[in-house]
Amino acid sequence: MADALKIGIAGLGTVGASLVRILQDRREMLATTCGRAIEITAVTARDRSKDRGVDLSNATWFEDAVSLAANADIDVFIELMGGSGDPAYAAVKTALGRGIHVVTANKALLAAHGIELAAIAENKGALLNYEAAVAGGIPVIKALRESMTGNTISRVYGIMNGTCNYILTKMEKEGLSFEACLKEAQRLGYAEADPAFDIEGNDTAHKLSILTSLAFGTAIAADDIYLEGITNISIDDINAAADLGYRIKLLGVAQRTESGIEQRVHPTMVPYDSVIAQVDGVTNAVAIESDILGELLMVGPGAGGNATASAVLGDVADIAKSRPGAQHVPAFGRPTNALLPYKRAQIQSHEGGYFIRLKVVDRTGVFASIASRMAENGISLESIMQHSKHPKESDEPQTIILVTHATAEHSVRDAIVAIKSEGYLVGEPQVIRIERPKAA
Amino acid sequence: MADALKIGIAGLGTVGASLVRILQDRREMLATTCGRAIEITAVTARDRSKDRGVDLSNATWFEDAVSLAANADIDVFIELMGGSGDPAYAAVKTALGRGIHVVTANKALLAAHGIELAAIAENKGALLNYEAAVAGGIPVIKALRESMTGNTISRVYGIMNGTCNYILTKMEKEGLSFEACLKEAQRLGYAEADPAFDIEGNDTAHKLSILTSLAFGTAIAADDIYLEGITNISIDDINAAADLGYRIKLLGVAQRTESGIEQRVHPTMVPYDSVIAQVDGVTNAVAIESDILGELLMVGPGAGGNATASAVLGDVADIAKSRPGAQHVPAFGRPTNALLPYKRAQIQSHEGGYFIRLKVVDRTGVFASIASRMAENGISLESIMQHSKHPKESDEPQTIILVTHATAEHSVRDAIVAIKSEGYLVGEPQVIRIERPKAA
C-alpha cells in the first residue's frame, strides 16, 4: 500500500468536526477504497480548547491557517473556514504555492478569486477541488468538470439555497406569510440571524458564478449577476402560481444566449409537473442542459455538516487515489489560459415567459387598456385573468393576472411603464419570470 | 502537451458512431480540456463498408475485436459491442491482460464477468470504466465510486429502463392498455421487436447488479435478483394507484437489511409527490441513500446514442487527464480481494407497504373475511376500500383494494393463500409493493 495521504485541516466548525469524525471512524474502509490511509497531521481552528468530540492528539496544532499552509508536512490542505478574504485566501494561496493540493468548501473565496487560485494550482501541478462549495452533497462539480467533458452546455440552473427553498415551500404548504416562514427557518437553524445573504440571493449568486465558469469555460464573473431575492414574494403570488400550474422557486440560472451569457438569480415559476418543482424544503437541485448528454438533474442535500463533509471527503479521496503530480485536472474545466472571455448578456435581453400580477382600480376599460399596452409592445399573452368580485365598479382594487408567451424582458418593462402611466395601477406590479425545463 | 491518447473502438453502432463523430468534431476542445489529444487509431465493426458519416481513414481496421484488443497500438480499448459473451468478453479480457485501459457500455458483460475483469485490471494497473453501462448519461457510477467514498449506503434504487417507464407513463397519461403502449413504444424505437428483456425486468436487473456491488462493496450477484416485470400492470392498477396518491414505476431496488442484501426488480408504487414519481417517459432516475451524504437523486437520459456516447467520453476523458499507471481506482469501489461476500436476503423477508387489489364475488361477509385474514397474519391496514356499485348482492364481481402499513412479504403471501382458500376470489389477486423515498 502507498504511503498515507497527509492532510491538514483549517477550520473545525460543523463541517470540519464532521470530517474529522468520519476520517477517524472509517479509517480502514477509506484505506481499502483509496489504496492508502488518510492521516490528519495538522489542524488549526479559532478555539483550540473546545471539545469537538474528536481525538486530534496525533495532529500538529498551528496558530493560524497561513502558518499551517506554509509549514505543515501535508499533501492536502483542507480549507473549511469560509469567507472570501484572509485568512482563507492567503492560506489557500500559500498551500497551492507550495504545490500542495487544496480542497475547499468556500464558495465566496472561489467566486472572488477562483481563477487566480486555479492558475497557481496549474503552475504548481496541484489540484484545486471544491465539490462542497456548490450545492453541498450534490456532485455537480464532478458532473460538469469530468462526466460532461466534451459537452457544450446551453443552460445550468438550480435551487441552490436551502433557506429560500424552505421558506417558499412552507409558505405554499401552510399558507403562511414570508415573515412567519423566515422566523420559523431561523428557529430551526436553516436561516441566519441576519438572513439577507440567503434571502436576497447573494449565496445563490456565488454558487452560480462557479457553475457558470465550469459550464461555459469562461472566467468567473460573480459581480455580473442579475439579482432578485424572495422578500417580495407573497402568498398571493404562490397561490396564483398554483392556480396556473406553477410553483415558485428561487433559481440561479446561467444560460448561453446570442448576446452573451445570462447569469440571473430570481424567484422563478416552474411548471408544477416538472421534476424540479417537486424539490421541497432545504433540499437543493441542479439541472444541466447540454447538447450530447441532454438534460441531467441532480437533487440532494445542499448544506449540513455531514453532507458537506461527504463532498469534501470525495475530493480528498480523489487525490488519495491519484498519485502525486499524476493528474491534469484544470480547476474550472479548462486551463486558465484557455478560459474564454466572459460576455454578459443584460437582463433586458432575457427571453422567456412572464407572470405579471397587477392591482388596478375597478373601472371600466382598464382590462382593455392593459391588453392594449401589452399588444403594443409585441407581447403575446398565454392567459389574462381578472377576478372581479363585483358585478359593477367598486372601490376595492381588482387583481389582474397575465401570463405571457416567450417575450423579451425589455418589452415587459416598457409595457409596465406604459401601464403605470395610465394612472389606474394600485401599488407596484409583481413580475415573476417563468423558467421551463427543456425535458420534463 | 502530453502525447495523444490512442484509442481503439470495437463496435460502430449508434453509440460508436456518435462517439466517433463527437471525438472528431470536438478534437480541439477535448485536447484543451484533457491536456492531450484523443486519437482514434484502431477500429473494428461488423460491417466495414457501411457509411456511418464519419471519417475513419486514419484508423487501422481490424478483422475482429479480439485481434484489435490483442494487437492494436492503443492506450484505451472501447468496447461498444454488447453481449455478455464473446467476442466482447474475450476482447475486454485481452485488452486488460495487456494493461490497456478499458471503457465499456456493456452491462450484460459486467453483470456476468465484472469482478473477474476488475481483478485483471487491478493486476495490470489498468482502469475499467463503465459509466455508460448503467442509466446512460446519468453519472451514477462516478457518484458511487468516487463522490460517495466513505459513505455507507443503505439503499439504491431507480428507474433504469426507459422502455418500461415510457409504457407506464403512457398508460397513465392516455388511459391506454399495456399492449397498446408497448406497440407505440416499438413503433417509436423505444422497445425491441422482442421486448421481453426490457419488460420482464432483466435489463434493469443487469444494471442493478452493478450498482449493488458498487454500493455495498460486494461481489456481483446478477442471478440473485427477485424479478417481476410490468406485463401484469393494468390500467385499473394505475388508476387505483392515482386515487391513493401513488404512481407505478418499474424500480430496481438494492437494500441493506438485517438478513442480507435485497435485490429486487418489480413494479412499485411511489408517492405521487416524491421527486422520482415525476420522472416520465424514457427518462431514467437513480436514488442513493447513505449515512453521510443523505439522499442523492439523479435524473437524466438512460439511453440513446449521444447520451451513452457522452458517458463513454467522460470515462475516456478521465483516463486522458490521468497519466499512465497513475491511478488507483478499483473498478467496483474496493479491490477485488477486499470485496465482501454477497448474502442474499430473500424476497419473503422484504418489509414494506403493499397495495393489494382483489376481485371477489359480491356476497355479504367477504369484506369482513378479508379483513380478518389480514389481521390473522399480523398485517395492519392503512386503508381498505370497496367500490360497491350495487346496494344488494349482485352477479358482478366487486373490487376491493387494500393498502398495508409496513409488513413482511411472507405475511402478505400467507394472507393471500388464506383468502384464496375461502373461495370468493375471482381471478388472481394483484399485489404491488410500495417504496417510499427516505427524503421527499
- How far apart, in whole angstroms, are the C-alpha atoms of residue B358 and residue B400? 5
SS3 label, residue B56: coil
Average pLDDT over residues A102-107: 97
All three cell numbers of B362: 359480491
H helices within B261-406, ranges in order?
305-321, 366-376
Class of domain B145-301: alpha beta
Average pLDDT over residues A260-286: 95
Instruction: State which of A66-75, B325-334, B380-389, B390-399 shows the largest mean pLDDT.
Output: A66-75
The pLDDT of residue A440: 45
The residue type at A98: R
Does B16 count as an annotated binding residue? yes
Residue A194 DSSP symbol: S
Does B172 count as an annotated binding residue? no
Find out whether B143 and A311 touch, Cβ atoms under 8 Å: no
Min Cα–Cα distance to chain B from A60, Å? 24
Min Cα–Cα distance to chain A from B332, Å? 10
Beta carbons of A306 and B317 less than 8 Å apart? no
Beta carbons of B328 and A34 less than 8 Å apart? yes
E-state strands within A65-201: 76-79, 101-104, 128-129, 153-159
Does B50 count as an annotated binding residue? no
Pairing of strands B283-290, B153-159: antiparallel
Nearest to B300 among A22, A295, A327 (CB): A295
CA angle B46, B48, B49 (to 5 degrees): 130
Nearest to B283 among A26, A292, A439 (CB): A439
Asked if ipTM goes beyond 0.85, one says yes
| HEC readout, B187-208 | HCCCCCCCCHHHHCCHHHHHHH
- β-bridge mates for residue B407, sequence order: B352
Pairing of strands B76-79, B60-61: unpaired
How far, CA to CA in Å, does B422 sit from each of A202, B252, B365, B392? 66, 34, 11, 21
Q: Give the A window 303-342 contacts with B, CB below 8 Å.
A: 304, 306-307, 309-311, 313-314, 317-318, 321-323, 326-330, 333-335, 338
- How far apart, in whole angstroms, are the C-alpha atoms of residue A177 and residue A69? 47
A141-301: CATH topology is Dihydrodipicolinate Reductase; domain 2 (3.30.360)
Beta carbons of A292 and B309 less than 8 Å apart? yes
| Sign of the C-alpha dihedral computed for residues B185, B191, B195 and B199 taken in this order | negative
- β-bridge mates for residue A271, sequence order: A246
Q: Is residue B218 less than 8 Å (CB to CB) from chain A?
A: no
- How far apart, in whole angstroms, are the C-alpha atoms of residue B183 and residue B192? 10
Phi-psi region of B260 (alpha: psi -120 to 50; beta: other; left: phi over 0): left
A6-61 pLDDT, tens digit per residue, is: 999 999 999 999 999 999 999 999 999 999 999 999 999 998 888 888 889 889 99
DSSP string, B288-305: EEESSS-EEEEEEE--SH
A192-212 pLDDT, tens digit per residue, is: 888 999 999 999 999 999 999
- How far apart, in whole angstroms, are the C-alpha atoms of residue B221 and residue B209? 6
All three cell numbers of A40: 490528519
Find out whether B357 and B438 touch, Cβ atoms under 8 Å: no
B301-329 pLDDT, tens digit per residue, is: 998 999 999 999 999 999 998 865 566 77
Average pLDDT, chain A: 93
B185-240 pLDDT, tens digit per residue, is: 999 988 888 899 999 999 999 999 999 999 999 999 999 999 999 999 999 999 99
Find out whether A135 and B295 touch, Cβ atoms under 8 Å: no
Selected catalytic residue, list A6, A93, A207, A249: A207
Beta carbons of A280 and B440 less than 8 Å apart? yes
- A114 Cβ neighbours under 8 A, 6+ residues apart: A210, A213, A220, A331, A332
How far, CA to CA in Å, does B28 sit from each of A174, B37, B315? 53, 7, 18
Find out whether B314 and A290 touch, Cβ atoms under 8 Å: no
Does A277 count as an annotated binding residue? no
Helix (H) or strand (E) holding A28: helix A27-34
Q: Is B207 a catalytic residue?
A: yes
Class of domain B5-137+305-338: alpha beta
A350-434: CATH topology is Alpha-Beta Plaits (3.30.70)
Residue A416's nearest CA partner among A430, A406, A405 is A430
The residue type at B93: K
Find out whether B96 and B117 touch, Cβ atoms under 8 Å: yes
SS3 label, residue A430: strand
Domain ranges of chain B: 5-137+305-338, 145-301, 350-434
% residues pLDDT > 90 (chain B): 86
The pLDDT of residue B15: 95
**Which phi and psi angles does B267 have, rounded to 5°?**
-60, 140
